[in-house]
Amino acid sequence: MLVQNGMFHPAFRAGSVNQLFRNGVGVPSPDVALFAISDAPLNFHEFATLFRDKLHCPNALFLDGTISSLHSTELKRSDFRMDLGPILGVTE
């Protein structure tokens, strides 16, 4: 968990040099899930801060790191860092 009940995981450090591409999902309310992927490498503390302080998610889950990629025609983005395993999709 990146954020649990508004608190960061105790191992996260603001100045950590463990920086990778990251993606995760947060829930600001029972009816909304927000997915985020970093554009640049960052540490867990920075990523957790995004969910808690900017996206107002009291709970957020880290999904993966190094292989984080996004394909979105709307955003005109199609990353390819390496072969992917699990895939999340959103449809209407």
User: In the predicted model, is pLDDT for residue 87 greater than 80?
Assistant: no
pLDDT in tens, 14-54: 999 999 888 899 999 988 999 888 888 999 999 999 999 99
Mean pLDDT of the chain: 85
* Count of structural domains, the chain: 1
Phi, psi for 52 (deg, rounded to 5):
-75, -50
Determine, yes or no, domain membership for 20: yes
Determine, yes or no, domain membership for 86: no
Range of the structural domain that residue 55 is part of: 3-68
User: In the predicted model, is pLDDT for residue 79 greater than 90?
Assistant: no
Q: What's the pLDDT at 82?
A: 62
Count Cβ atoms within 10 A of the Cβ of residue 41 and give its class: 0-12 exposed, 13-18 middle, 19 or more buried. Answer: middle
Q: What's the pLDDT at 63?
A: 85
Pairing of strands 32-37, 59-64: unpaired
